[in-house]
Amino acid sequence: MRILLIGQAPFGAAVLEKLLGRGEEVVGVFTPPERKGKMDPLAEAAQAKGVRLFPVTSMKTDEVHQTVQGLKADLGVMAFVTMIVPERVLYSPRLGTIQYHPSLLPRHRGASAINWAVINGEKKTGLTIFWPDKGLDTGPLLLQKEVDIGPDDTVGTLYFNHLFPRGVDALIESIDLVKAGKAPKIVQDESQATYEGICKPENAQIDWNKNAHAIYDLVRGTNPQPGAWTRHKGQELKVFDSELPKEGKHGAPGEVVGIGGDGFLVAAKDGVIKVKRVQPPESKKISSSEYIGLSGLKVGDRLGT
């Protein structure tokens, strides 16, 4: 099958490797251009394998449309795509285009689907392969896989341990269904649809007046990006690794109530959070014990605004 691949990042590269490994004819790869002199991982993989590469800043131009038409692909595959792909490109391949999305559509449409599922404290999420249309993650469903969200999963562990590898396999499974003429097109139930915007730093500020579990879910749901944050001595402090102890000393919300070898305890509305890894301004991520030594943080300090 002649496949047009649109994507980026290690996920896109893994999909390309899988396609070529099973003998698919990848007729072209569209990726973002170099950034700061560095090629995207998918672009590097395509170049290494001798696959025709088209670095583009936009998929909306007449030139891109004409190029896609000239490739005469049977199927388009979108693997980790952040650019808007217009309908005329989606429908240029003979059999249309399929796309990967890391949620169980129609829930969590949007670019930060994994973040919001974890922030919301959900126990399950999943992935969807669907037929994209002019809407944002609104096209008919082809295939879905459920994934459990562990109590200590972060966005990083959930993606790299589960949604990434299973997503690559699901795209391959979907291609086989398309080949066999058995790929469904199930209209999404709009009554179940949710959409959240990109999870930005302004969504990641810790409110120590909230309950400990909600704060813990926020830290998990913004790790590694964009990073939950608070303030210490007037400076922003990002919080990455944390723990939810079953018991802890009580204190005013945001008060440091304990310091140990692997972190420090901060009081929330109804419990405590153990902070284990942080990132001060203009610094790399460091252990909490290292931060304590550098900042002089002590019991009784207050975090937050």
User: Going residue by residue through the chain (305 aa), what tens digit of pLDDT does each one get?
Assistant: 999 999 999 999 999 999 999 999 999 999 999 998 899 999 999 999 999 999 999 999 999 999 999 999 999 999 999 999 999 999 999 999 999 999 999 999 999 999 999 999 999 999 999 999 999 999 999 999 999 999 999 999 999 999 999 999 999 999 999 999 999 999 999 999 999 999 999 999 999 999 999 999 999 999 999 999 999 999 999 999 999 998 777 899 999 999 988 999 999 999 999 999 999 999 999 999 999 999 999 999 999 97
- Run of H or E residues at 181: none
Burial of 258 (0-12, 13-18, 19+ CB in 10 A): middle
Burial of 281 (0-12, 13-18, 19+ CB in 10 A): exposed
Structural domains in the chain, sorted by start: 2-192 (3.40.50.170), 205-295 (3.10.25.10)
**Could you tell me if 144 and 126 are in contact, meaning their C-beta atoms sit under 8 angstroms apart?**
yes
CA separation for the pair 274, 129 (Å, rounded): 38
DSSP 213-253: HHHHHHHHHTTTTT-EEEEETTEEEEEEEEE--SS----ST
**Could you tell me if 221 and 116 are in contact, meaning their C-beta atoms sit under 8 angstroms apart?**
yes
**Could you tell me if 140 and 131 are in contact, meaning their C-beta atoms sit under 8 angstroms apart?**
yes
User: Model's pTM, two decimal places?
Assistant: 0.95
